[in-house]
Amino acid sequence: MSVTEQPAPAPGREPGGDAAADRLRDRISADSLTTRRDYLRIVATVSGGLAIGGVGVAAGILHRHGDSETLPEAKKVADVMAPGESVAFRFPGDEDRALAVRLTDGSLVGYSAVCTHLACAVLWREDRGPDGELYCPCHEGVFDARTGEVTAGPPPRPLPRIFLTEQADGSVWAIATARSGEQAKDALCRQFGDSRRGAAQRLGGPPGGPATESRRTLETYSPQPAPP
């Protein structure tokens, strides 16, 4: 065969088929390389955004429950709650995930359902001990169902509390929030102080104790006679 002669195509192939196939292979591998790069870029961007958001929540920089200084509008959680029952709801805002639980001894507890680690959703697990537990499946974070304190895993702080009240007809309402680790009395005085001075004073709201901005605000109120 002379040097100018082309090899005969393999049976079933067109003349020049190998070159065309090679070009096609090159294009496919270049495309897939681009696609892989794009994919990795997207994953890195999304994960970075989530990590930054989670760290922001964990550090208390971004919005979370209990940030409001004013009393939120009361919200009905359930018509009735039986022992061992939990209800997921939103409070104080429509974006704020929350959880109400009726413990087996009848106590009602409410918490933000946003994990204090990286803001995953916290779930209620009834079958863990006498009170059950609040569990974050992202990194095995566990919170005490009665107090909201961290009992296992990486969450750095307790779950922010949501105050619930039960009416005579059995309905359960969310009425106020606390910041993570904030004493109930301080949280209620802080929020009631803006709109229900009598209630805040009956709760033993400030003056007294460590000064905070909200306490100073309360101290400037003119005392109101408590309703009979």
Instruction: Name the site residues for ligand FES (rule: CB under 6 A).
Output: 115, 117-118, 120, 136, 138-139, 141, 153-155
CB 72 to ligand FES: min, Å: 24
CB 39 to ligand FES: min, Å: 25
* Buried/exposed 16-27: b ≥16 CB within 10 Å, e otherwise: eeeeeeeeeeee
> Between residues 50 and 80, which has the closer beta carbon with respect to ligand FES?
50
Instruction: Give whole-number Cα distances, 59 to 104, 111, 117, 212, in Å.
Output: 33, 18, 9, 20
CA distance 50 to 63: 15
> Between residues 13 and 139, which has the closer beta carbon with respect to ligand FES?
139
CB 83 to ligand FES: min, Å: 27
Query: 121 with 97: CB under 8 angstroms?
Result: yes
Query: Among 75, 79, 80, which residue's Cα sits nearest to residue 98?
Result: 75
> Between residues 71 and 98, which has the closer beta carbon with respect to ligand FES?
98
CB 64 to ligand FES: min, Å: 13
> Between residues 98 and 176, which has the closer beta carbon with respect to ligand FES?
98
